[in-house]
Every structure is written in structure tokens, then in C-alpha cells.
A and B are shown apart, each in its own frame.
Chain A
Amino acid sequence: MLKTFPKGGVHPEEGKYSANSPIETLPLPKTVYIPIAQHIGAPSKPMVAKGDKVKVGDKIAESLGFVSANIHSSVSGTVAKIEDILDSTGYKRPCIVIDVEGDDWNENIDRSADLKKEIGLSDKEIIQRINESGIVGLGGATFPSHVKLSVPDGKKIDVLIINGVECEPYLTSDHRLMLEKAEEMLVGIQILMKALGVNLAMIGIENNKPDAINHLKELVQNYPGIEVHPLKVQYPQGGEKQLIKALINREVPSGGLPLNVGAVVHNVGTAYAVYEAIQKNKPLFERVVTVTGKSVKKPSNFIVRVGTPVSNLIEAAGGLPEDTGKIINGGPMMGKAINSLEVPVVKGTSGILIMPEDISSRKKQSTCIRCAKCVSVCPQGLEPYLLAKLAKLEKFDKLEAGGVMDCIECGSCAYTCPAGLPLLDYIRLGKARVSKIIRSRKQ
């Protein structure tokens, strides 16, 4: 029997239309819009001003604090302005706008395609370089990677977990990366292992990607300490806590981090970015983005420079379908609906999903019949019907006691509710209020 996490979960229609589209390089846009807040933590501070010339890979905004990340120019050209632009969160945020001129790379970057296996740097230097290169978690959470690698004194990590699950329906960027850049990714994993001082790395991949599983299983024979583990298809297996439970059967304590149970989790895309940063001296300024949807003419996977407007990607995938009703930055379970085609791709953009109008609106609501389906699918063992009700009634103390802060916002409850109730909407609102209360209590 295939491993999976034991509690809850759902299995939405997979819709992996772009699984067989090789990664293509998207042509350079005319202008890029690079937000200074692309990661969890403090926004970066711009280091360039209007009129400055930049090359590909030049640092243009610097990290402010430990939990923050540097940002590098994804193109060469002239800084046109720094201005507030609507980003995928739906808010206007400061962006560095660069007019593209040619494709002139910073000379420190090794642009050759040769696989470089030798790891020259020490563990400290690796973490330093990862920090310098602006690498954040590419699975979508965009948590600065060097933070995860800086293990506090007294904590012992014994396993590195590599997330190749890609449990979000439709998305295939990690899948294609595992097929096409497998060796680079494995070297990246070795680098991460060295940084953490562990001898074991486990790659978790859902069983709907047999080609990737077989390919990697063959390759890891030459990479001691790296194991490939097929997993049963079950959403939200890509959630850190669920993946750790599925692979090594350890349960991250409520409110805790993976390092509490001796594990660190990184995404396959992050491992690839680490390879490029350490072996090729290339900071993070481009990533693989899936562009897909039921009506999309050419479901694709592109290597995209950060800051490229979404409209460029959609154009390259055959244009916007007539019946478009919704455009999602990310997957259908956790992605964000965007309201403009000019939203730029950021480090955390794993896919652009275009949904036809007939499935864009929500299910019709009726009353809760207490069927308990939300309780049975919650991977965190919570009672979504109750949390939603408590949030609606503004009973924040009970909401906190009910474990609302443990909610990982996977959306399984709202997905499964036969009454079409917006359970997660209420829970999110409640969670925001409860976290505010917790913060004020600490002060």
C-alpha cells in the first residue's frame, strides 16, 4: 500500500492537462514589474532608482532582517520607476518597473548548461549564498529558504524532506522540473543535505506522476542518501505537516515547526534554485510556471522571468479563451483569483489557471445538514462547521480553543460541503481576528 497522511483529505479532479508539455522559455517581456514584497517576512528595500541601468541577476532590492529576501533583476535594461502596482494579492504594492533592453547577464553567473556535481562551499557558505541569492520556498508559501536551513542551537535535524507532491490539481511545474532538471535538482538536494548536516533526504511524489518517480528512482542510485517515495494521490499532501506525517510518521506539534520533529521540508523547485545559486552563481529571478485550464488552447509550462505580466504567459499559451470566467494565480484549491491580466509573476507563482465561466462561480448555498463531511476531510482534525459558526458569531475565545490557528487553509472543507457553505471564508476571518488577539496578548 502506498503511503499517505492518515487523516482527512480529498481527491479533486486532477486536470493535469500540461503534464506532457516540456518546459519552454517564455520570450522576454517589454517591461517587468518586480514587487519588493514577494516573500513571507519584511518587504525588501529597493537599491536602485529611476534611470539606473541593471543587468540580469543584479541585486535591486535588499533583504530587511532575517526573515526577508533579496530581490534580483530578472532582465537587463533601465529602471523606469518604482510605483505601486496591483499584485496577485489584490493590493497595490511597490514594484520596481524595468524597461527591458537586450538580455545582458551579470558576468558572475555561469550560463553554461553543464552539470556541476562538485560542491565547493561549506555548510555556512551555502546558507550564506542561498540568503544572498534571494531564494524562497517555491512551492507557493515563499518562506525565505535560508531561515529554514538555519537550525537553532539544540535542535537536531535528521532528515531533509523534498516536496515533489504537487497535490494541487492542474499544476505541473514541479512535475516537469523533476523530469527535465532531475540531475540538477538532485545536486541541489545534496547541497541542502550538506547545509543541514543530514545523511538522508526523502523525495515524496504522488503516484499520478509515475514517469517522474521512475526517472528519479533510476538517478538516485548515484546519489547516496537520497530516497524516492511514491505517495497515494491525496490532497493536501503537499502541506508540510501532512507530508512529514506521510513520509516519516512524525506529527509536527500544534503551533510547532517541522524542525520540532527533526525534519526540514523544501520544494523540488527550491532544490533546483539552490543548485543554480550554489553551482552556477545564479540568483533566483526566474521560475517554472504552468499555464493551464480546461479551455486553454496550449496548456504549457514556461520558464518565466519574475515580473513578467500574466498576460504574456496567457498569450504564449494560445491566448485567453472566450469562455474565461476566472483567472487564478496558483492552483484551484489554494490559489488566489486575480482581477487583472497585468499582475506580475512573482517567485511564488507556480501556475496560472484559467477557469471557464460555467465553473467559475460558487456552488449554490443551502443550510448545513450536519453531515460531518467537513469534519471527516479536515487533515488537521478540526471541526470546520463549528469553527465557521463560531467565527460568524464572533466567539473568538471559543474559536481559539477550537484550534482555529491549526487550520492550514487547504480548503478541503469548503470543497466537500454539500450545502456549498463558504466554511473557509469564515474560518479565515476568524483566524485573522484570533491571531490579532494572540499578538496583543503577548505585548
Chain B
Amino acid sequence: MNKLFISPSPHVYEDTTVKRLMFDVVIAMLPALAFSIYFFGMGAIIVTLTAVVSCLAFEWLIQKFILKQQPTISDGSALVTGILLAFNVPTNLPIGIIIIGSLVAIGVGKMSFGGLGNNPFNPALVGRVFLLISFPVQMTSWPVPTGFSNSYTDAVTGATPLGIMKEGIGAGKAVSELMAEIPSHMELFYGHMGGSMGEIAAVALLIGFAYLLIRKVITWHIPVIVIGTIAIFTGILWMVNPESNADPMFHLLTGGVMLGAIFMATDYVTSPMSVKGMWIYGIGIGVITVLIRVFGAYPEGVSFAILIMNAFVPLINAYIKPKRFGEVQNG
């Protein structure tokens, strides 16, 4: 007989690992990636590959030469960050800018805080917002979804539905008038609109959501709360004045709502630990998004909303505790 192994209980474990969870997220993003390639063509492929390769490379280099750790890029988290960063930029973004975004995402957003598990902000969004502020022109010239093409930085560009809406309302046009310039809700659902690479097709993102739920990677709370809050808030505004506010469906199907709610607000590291905390966090993201969209300077506010609420997560975790068993005194 060999030596017996001794350890305290429990003696069995679920076969889930961090790596499996990360690769499940990658799988869940594949439908959205496929839709992007279908609508934008080569640009989508180049942007994704650049972001993924540079994120992995920066993580490896930083761990190996600066932190002098055993590199852990095989855990899949840098891969997720790379794909999410690509999803958050237009598909005509020059390679150099993407690489800068990756460096900020991984270097500043993640590794400077100690790597996976320690970063307060979603790394991909740190990269995205950095680029948005540093390269506002390149970050807001949106290729028109023409169907697969070989164009990359030379793609024909146009405004996003949110941009049209923001500018139109600002110029005093009525919403009903502006709606004629915007694709129908059904087209928006399938992703036939300008926008960041991965955010366009709500249908693909919802398929990914279903996969994440089935695989128990995430719970329904954050996505449903964020989407619900935006729907209710914009619904109220729309009912009060339908000529100066777009309908809730328009808000849900455009911009980064689906991508943000399903894939970025749910980032384990930067979202609350308790269900009660998830409610506060989700409602916060929804409210801030609508405030920025309707009253702010930018047409879109999902990224900012998530980053702002990320900052509150440590506070939420410290003060919002799950209800303990036996807390209510029955006796």
C-alpha cells in the first residue's frame, strides 16, 4: 500500500477551475465575434488579433521581467481582456493605437494592482476609456456595417444610432423624425448598425448570456438588473416626453448596453460579492448610463458607468453583507 494522503475535509471538489471559467467566457463571446466579422470583415479580425496578442504579450512580459513571477497567461484572463478590448473599439482602429490600449489595459488596469483578482477596475474598460480620451477622433469614427469586406482603416464610416439621436435631439429635432434615419429595431437587434466591434449584435450577446447562465459562470442578477434599470429609467423619460426621448427598446439595443451588462459589468473581480450588492451595483450602472446618454456630453455612457460603479465595489462589499442564517431572532 502506498502512503495514505491526509488532509482536512472536504475531500471532493467541483471540477470548475479559473481557467475553465475564463474559457467559457471566451466561448460565450464567439457569437458576437462572428457577427462582427460578418458585418465588418477584415477589420474585425485584425483588431481582435492585435488586441489579443498584445494583451497576452504584455501580461507575459510584465510578469516575467518586471514582477519576476511565473507567467500565468494560460489562465485565460488576459485572453478575455484582449477580446473585450477589441469588442469596445471601432474596427478601423489602427494597430498602434490598439497596442497602446492593450498596454494600458493590462499594465495599468491589471498588473499594477497585482494582477488577476486584485484590480479594482475592469482592465478592458480602463484601456478603452484611456483610448477614448487620448484618441477621440479615431475612437469615434465608426465603420458602416457593409457586410464582409476587406477594408480596414479605409472603411467607410458613419454615425452610430446613439450619435444620430444625441446630435439630433441637441439640434432640436423630434425623435420620430430621427427614427427615420436609424435602422429599425429588428435590424438593431441583429446588429446592423455602426458601433464598436462587439457591441452591435444584441442577439449574439444574448446567446452568449444564455451560455454563461447554462454553464453557471455568472448568475442572472447583474445583466438583468442593469438592463432592467435602463429600460425602466428610459421608459419613464419616454412616457413623459416621447418626442425628445428615444424609446427604451432603442436604448437597450444600441451602444454598449448588452455587451456591458453581460460581459463587462459581470467581471468577477470588479463586481460585488453579495446579491444585495449586485442590486446596488446594477442599478447604479443603469442609472449612470442613462444620465450620461440623456443629459451628458457623450452619446454613450456604459463604459463610464461600469468604471464608476467598479470604484464603489469595495465599499459595497464592506457594508452590504449577505443575510446571515439565524440573524433574525425567533426565540
Beyond A10-B14, A369-B116, is A424–B326 a contact (Cβ under 8 Å)?
A: no
Contact present for A253 and B21 (CB under 8 Å): no
Residue of A nearest to B13 (CB): A363
A289-306 vs B, CB cutoff 8 Å, 1 = contact: the mask equals 000000000000000000
Contact present for B12 and A260 (CB under 8 Å): no
Contact present for B273 and A381 (CB under 8 Å): no
State whether the Cβ of A383 lies closer than 8 Å to any Cβ in chain B.
yes
- Give CA–CA (A363, B11) in the complex, Å: 10
- Give CA–CA (A372, B324) in the complex, Å: 15
State whether the Cβ of A336 lies closer than 8 Å to any Cβ in chain B.
yes
Residue of A nearest to B268 (CB): A371
Which residues of A158-172 have CB atoms within 8 Å of chain B's CB atoms?
Answer: 169
The interface size bin for chain B is 35 or more
Beyond A369-B268, A376-B219, is A415–B325 a contact (Cβ under 8 Å)?
A: no
Contact present for B326 and A12 (CB under 8 Å): no
Contacting residue for B274 out of A251, A371, A372, A409, CB 8 A:
A372
Contact present for A337 and B7 (CB under 8 Å): yes
Contact present for B4 and A326 (CB under 8 Å): yes
- Give CA–CA (A324, B77) in the complex, Å: 36
Chain B residues near A416 (CB-CB < 8 A):
14, 16
Chain B residues near A334 (CB-CB < 8 A):
9-10
State whether the Cβ of A370 lies closer than 8 Å to any Cβ in chain B.
yes
Contact present for A169 and B12 (CB under 8 Å): yes
Residue of A nearest to B116 (CB): A367
Binds B, one of A33-41, A60-68, A143-151, A354-362: A354-362
Contacting residue for A369 out of B18, B219, B275, CB 8 A:
B18
Contact present for A381 and B324 (CB under 8 Å): yes
B1-41 vs A, CB cutoff 8 Å, 1 = contact: the mask equals 11011111111111011101100000000000000000000
Contact present for B4 and A338 (CB under 8 Å): yes
- Give CA–CA (A378, B16) in the complex, Å: 17
State whether the Cβ of A241 lies closer than 8 Å to any Cβ in chain B.
yes
Which residues of B117-131 have CB atoms within 8 Å of chain A's CB atoms?
Answer: 117
State whether the Cβ of B181 lies closer than 8 Å to any Cβ in chain A.
no
State whether the Cβ of B154 lies closer than 8 Å to any Cβ in chain A.
no
Chain A residues near B5 (CB-CB < 8 A):
325-326, 337, 357, 360-361
Contact present for B14 and A424 (CB under 8 Å): no
Residue of A nearest to B328 (CB): A251
Contact present for A383 and B18 (CB under 8 Å): no
Beyond A253-B329, A383-B322, is A359–B4 a contact (Cβ under 8 Å)?
A: no
Chain A residues near B94 (CB-CB < 8 A):
none
Chain B residues near A380 (CB-CB < 8 A):
324-326
Contact present for A251 and B1 (CB under 8 Å): no
Chain B residues near A28 (CB-CB < 8 A):
none
- Give CA–CA (A337, B115) in the complex, Å: 35
Residue of A nearest to B277 (CB): A372
Contact present for B75 and A253 (CB under 8 Å): no
State whether the Cβ of A425 lies closer than 8 Å to any Cβ in chain B.
yes
- Give CA–CA (A367, B20) in the complex, Å: 14
The interface size bin for chain A is 35 or more
* SS of B interface (majority): loop
- Give CA–CA (A289, B20) in the complex, Å: 38
Contacting residue for A370 out of B13, B268, B325, B329, CB 8 A:
B268
Chain B residues near A227 (CB-CB < 8 A):
none
Contacting residue for A420 out of B13, B77, B269, B275, CB 8 A:
B13
Beyond A261-B331, A338-B4, A367-B117, is A7–B325 a contact (Cβ under 8 Å)?
A: yes
B69-102 vs A, CB cutoff 8 Å, 1 = contact: the mask equals 0001001010000000000000000000000000
- Give CA–CA (A338, B273) in the complex, Å: 36
Which residues of A342-369 have CB atoms within 8 Å of chain B's CB atoms?
Answer: 353, 355, 357, 359-364, 366-369
Chain A residues near B269 (CB-CB < 8 A):
369-370
Contact present for B21 and A371 (CB under 8 Å): yes
Most chain A C-beta atoms within 10 Å of own C-beta, residue among B4, B20, B330:
B4
Which residues of A241-296 have CB atoms within 8 Å of chain B's CB atoms?
Answer: 241, 245, 250-256, 260-261
Residue of B nearest to A235 (CB): B10
Contacting residue for A13 out of B1, B12, B274, B327, CB 8 A:
B12
Contact present for A324 and B4 (CB under 8 Å): yes
Most chain B C-beta atoms within 10 Å of own C-beta, residue among A251, A255, A364, A422:
A251
Most chain A C-beta atoms within 10 Å of own C-beta, residue among B1, B4, B11:
B11
Chain A residues near B329 (CB-CB < 8 A):
253
Beyond A361-B5, A380-B324, is A415–B10 a contact (Cβ under 8 Å)?
A: yes
Chain A residues near B9 (CB-CB < 8 A):
328, 330, 332-337, 409, 411, 424
Which residues of B242-278 have CB atoms within 8 Å of chain A's CB atoms?
Answer: 268-269, 272-275
Contact present for B330 and A250 (CB under 8 Å): yes
Residue of A nearest to B22 (CB): A369
- Give CA–CA (A7, B323) in the complex, Å: 10
A169 to chain B, nearest CB (A): 7
Contacting residue for B10 out of A250, A327, A333, CB 8 A:
A333
Contacting residue for A253 out of B72, B272, B326, CB 8 A:
B326
- Give CA–CA (A369, B13) in the complex, Å: 17
- Give CA–CA (A419, B330) in the complex, Å: 37
State whether the Cβ of B321 lies closer than 8 Å to any Cβ in chain A.
yes
Nearest 5 CB-CB pairings of A with B: A411-B10, A254-B326, A260-B331, A381-B324, A372-B273
| 23 residue pairs A–B, Cβ–Cβ below 8 Å | A254-B326, A261-B330, A324-B4, A326-B5, A330-B9, A332-B11, A332-B12, A334-B9, A335-B9, A336-B9, A337-B5, A338-B4, A339-B4, A366-B17, A369-B268, A380-B324, A380-B325, A381-B322, A383-B274, A406-B326, A414-B10, A414-B13, A415-B14
Known A-B contacts: A241-B326, A326-B4. Give 11 more (CB < 8 A). Answer: A90-B6, A251-B330, A253-B330, A254-B325, A256-B326, A337-B9, A337-B11, A364-B17, A380-B324, A380-B325, A418-B17
